[in-house]
């Protein structure tokens, strides 16, 4: 069972009813409508949230979310088997914050703003980033083995069943490195203007010292934790423990297919797949790596630390 509020449940039901009633519309119009409806739901959460966890897909958000969920469970003494889902912990204990997890996919559709991040100004934002090359490869396996056909169409990914190899995918401007770099560069422009409202964390640093990253985030967002609480959360969300729980379908419950494999016989279909820093190099020839590296080196803002190496 999902652990969502009545408000969220009503929003989900309303969205499905509207889309079902308007099934006769051309596909491009139903996709635009669904993006706006999803954006309206996300915008409501943004207004109510105590803080925002912003990331591009496949940047380590699920891992961090499990770690954060465990921290809040221990910190606030919450007895629940569910992951943090916006306000479900807050409904159990008002001291627990409402946390809005977003990739910023849809809000601008609802607001009619094709670009810009003004809707996040004045909000407490934690920006989780990862090397775009590793993100793009991970997103390829997500698209190929886990992503539902409707979600592919909704977010301009290659259609379901398309014959696309990993090199072509990561160079695709709609879903690959160019789109990820554009997202990160948009945030690079506003980082200097947000001051203490923005906390930047990197997947690579989290892999090296997950406890330090978690400690940084909970302190910045108003719930500094005891060292033993940080360690308990870090250990619970350790990579091997996550792999074991996904294989056995045990552990915290999340919405949808977030922590379940697409095909239990295929390791590339697992949500927790490899998590290797720089692992993108394993999938390409030396010449392809040079092309991919140039796409990041030549275009990505250096503030994130992925260029100049």
Question: Hey, where are the domains in the chain?
Answer: 6-304
State the pLDDT at residue 254. 67
State the pLDDT at residue 256. 47
Secondary structure (H, E, C), 177-202 = HHHHHHHHHHHHHHHHHHHHHEEEEE
Question: Residue 274 has which token pair?
Answer: 């490899």
State the pLDDT at residue 97. 98
CA trace torsion 70, 198, 37, 146 (10° rounding): -50
State the pLDDT at residue 12. 82
- Listing DSSP states for the chain in one string gives -----HHHHHHHHHHHHHHHHTTTS-HHHHHHHHHHHHHHHHHHHHHH-SEEEEE-TTSSHHHHHHHHHHHHHHHHT---SBPP-TTHHHHH-TTSPPEEEE--SSHHHHHT-SS--GGGTTS-EEEEE--HHHHHHHHHHHHHHT--HHHHHHTTPPPTT----HHHHHH-TTTSHHHHHHHHHHHHHHHHHHGGGEEEEEHHHHHH-HHHHHHHHHHHTT----HHHHHHHHHHT-HHHHHHHHHHT-S-B-STTTTS-S-TT-GGG-SS----TTGGGGGS-HHHHHHHHHHHHTTS-GGGS-S--
CATH of domain 6-304: 3.40.50.300
Within the chain, what is the greatest distance between any pair of CA atoms? 56
- In this predicted model, what pLDDT tens digit does every residue of 205-261 receive, in sequence order? 999 999 999 999 999 999 998 999 999 999 998 877 776 666 555 656 765 445 555
State the pLDDT at residue 268. 44
Rounded to an integer, what distance in angstroms lies between the CA atom of residue 65 and that of residue 85?
9
pTM metric for this prediction:
0.88
Weakly modelled stretches of the chain, pLDDT under 50: 1, 256-257, 262-263, 266, 268-271
State the pLDDT at residue 114. 75
State the pLDDT at residue 260. 54
């Amino acid at each position: 069972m999902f652990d969502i509020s009545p408000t969220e449940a009503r929003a989900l039901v309303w969205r499905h009813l509207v889309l079902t009633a308007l099934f006769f519309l051309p596909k491009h119009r139903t996709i635009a409508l669904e993006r706006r409806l999803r954006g309206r739901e996300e915008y409501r959460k943004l207004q109510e949230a105590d803080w925002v966890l912003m990331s591009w897909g496949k940047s380590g958000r699920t891992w961090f979310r499990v770690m954060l969920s465990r921290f809040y469970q221990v910190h606030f003494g919450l007895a629940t088997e569910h992951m943090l889902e916006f306000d479900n912990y807050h409904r159990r204990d008002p001291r627990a914050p409402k946390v809005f997890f977003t990739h910023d996919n849809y809000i601008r559709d609802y607001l009619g703003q094709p670009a810009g991040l003004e809707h996040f100004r004045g909000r407490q934002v934690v920006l989780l980033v990862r090397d775009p090359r590793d993100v793009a490869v991970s997103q390829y396996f997500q698209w190929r083995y886990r992503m539902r056909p409707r979600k592919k169409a909704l977010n301009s990914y290659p259609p379901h069943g398309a014959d696309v190899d990993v090199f072509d995918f990561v160079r695709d401007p709609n879903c690959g490195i160019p789109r990820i770099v554009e997202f990160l560069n948009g945030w690079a422009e506003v980082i200097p203007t947000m001051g203490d409202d923005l906390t930047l964390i990197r997947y690579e640093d989290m892999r090296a010292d997950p406890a330090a990253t978690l400690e940084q985030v909970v302190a910045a967002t108003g719930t500094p934790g005891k060292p033993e609480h940080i360690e308990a959360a870090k250990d619970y969300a350790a990579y091997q423990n996550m792999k074991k729980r996904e294989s056995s379908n045990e552990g915290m419950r999340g919405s949808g297919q977030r922590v379940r494999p697409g095909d239990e016989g295929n390791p590339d279909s697992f949500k927790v797949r490899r998590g290797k820093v720089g692992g993108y190099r394993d999938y390409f020839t030396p010449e392809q790596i040079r092309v991919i590296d140039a796409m990041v080196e030549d275009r990505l803002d250096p503030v994130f630390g992925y260029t100049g190496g």
